[in-house]
Amino acid sequence: MRFHVKPLMTGVLAVSLFAACNADQSHGEKPADGAADSSSNPVETKKPNSDYKPAFEGQTRIKGVHTQTPLDVKMLSDGLVYPWGIITLPDGRFLITERKGTLRIATAGGQLSAPITGLPKVNSDGQGGLLDVILDPDFASNRIIYWSFSQDVPPGTLTAVGKGKLAADEKSVEGATVIYQALPAFPSKLHYGSRLAWDKEGNLFVSTGERSDIKSRPQAQQLNSALGKVLRITKEGKPAPGNPFANTPDARPEIWSYGHRNVQGLAIHPVTGDLWEDEFGPKGGDEVNRVEPGKNYGWATITYGLEYSGKKVGEGITQKEGLEQPVYYWDPVVSPSGATFYSGDLIPEWKNNLFIGSLSGMHIVRLVIENNNVVGEERLLADQQQRFRDVVQGADGALYAISDGEKGRLFRIGKK
């Protein structure tokens, strides 16, 4: 890959890309409609961890695609401290969470505000802390925001959702209150989830993890537990009307779907309105799913991954009647995190493509989706060698991404 680096200002770099493809991809032409080209090899070249076979063609290692639009990538800031979630404000700026418990506002040029305070205390040990953030649909008039975080609740911690008002001076959150707790609490520092997304009725989707421990793992399959689930709640934190288990005895009425491992990406398709998610597998078996109400997505009964020891998970099966297959999976893992569908006009060939931050994979995943199937995959910004935590579309039609770390970065990916 050829690129030119020039300073924009102190601590800010501009990277003008002359080729958008990763070095381990082939360079075949791509049709104008963004579909996979038969001459392009899969982007993944490493040996899988398991010998499991996909349930259908294209479920993994799909053909590679390549963005034809010349891209301009700018590193706007490296002043974030372990950022986790990013959302676009109505004026084109960004609201960003930092795991230690503070929010930051970033301009489209990368200038960062002082830390915004006033949130409830978080437990930032392990994978915990202040996690995702989302604006109220009426934020422009009410300035209400929602956030997810890991909260200390005996006998351990849990994923919680808070709500409050961003002060007019943007220095604090006023009236912060916890509206939902994903019970039961469990003594683990891992697998909190958790992303937030609105449905078309103004209800809030919340994803949770199953807390990783072998003891808590079975709760992903249990309807009396909020662990390992996608939940759907009102703005007040109550179970949303019409949820699939509202009339099921002993089931938590906030559950939308279950059988998830650690969902760190939620995104609404801009055309169909469908909810899509991505979640971490163990050693292999990272997944992308189209989430439907009441469906069971299989963890830990079926998986395309292995235990970290290399042993099989449970019975070592990948399919079972009544359990949903992932639309797509990775082996080895990419550690998929925050996700967004592209709906802008700046780069037309990206229309309705799904973009996912990749942590261990150190790139941004681009998936071309047609008829609910993945037909092409691309790896963007792999040359930056960053753990990408979240990605969002900006008001200008560019993509903006944050990377994990003590010197977390904010990137802009636009048209050259």
**Is 239 in contact with 233 (CB distance < 8 Å)?**
yes
What is the C-alpha to C-alpha distance for residues 195 and 209, in angstroms, rounded to an integer? 10
- Mention every residue, 6+ apart, whose C-beta is less than 8 A from residue 415: 69, 70, 71, 72, 346, 347, 398
| DSSP assignments along 155-175, one per residue | TEEEEEEEEEEE-TTSSBEEE
The residue extents of the domains of the chain are 3-415
Closest CA to 33 of 271, 369, 275, 340: 369
Which residues are part of the catalytic machinery?
A: 191
Per-residue pLDDT, 3: 33
What is the C-alpha to C-alpha distance for residues 361 and 286, in angstroms, rounded to an integer? 11
**Is 130 in contact with 151 (CB distance < 8 Å)?**
no
Whole-model pTM?
Answer: 0.92
CATH code given to domain 3-415: 2.120.10.30
Say whether 384 sits in a helix, a strand or coil: helix
Per-residue pLDDT, 240: 98
What is the C-alpha to C-alpha distance for residues 224 and 220, in angstroms, rounded to an integer? 10
DSSP 8-state class, residue 142: H
Closest CA to 117 of 130, 128, 136, 134: 130
Which parts of the chain have pLDDT scores under 50? Answer: 1-38
**Is 194 in contact with 203 (CB distance < 8 Å)?**
no
Per-residue pLDDT, 239: 98
- Mention every residue, 6+ apart, whose C-beta is less than 8 A from residue 221: 228, 258, 259, 296, 299, 300, 301
What is the C-alpha to C-alpha distance for residues 232 and 390, in angstroms, rounded to an integer? 21
What is the C-alpha to C-alpha distance for residues 109 and 184, in angstroms, rounded to an integer? 42
- Mention every residue, 6+ apart, whose C-beta is less than 8 A from residue 377: 42, 43, 62, 63, 64, 65, 365, 366, 367, 368
Pick left, alpha or beta for residue 385 (phi over 0 → left; psi -120 to 50 → alpha; otherwise beta): left
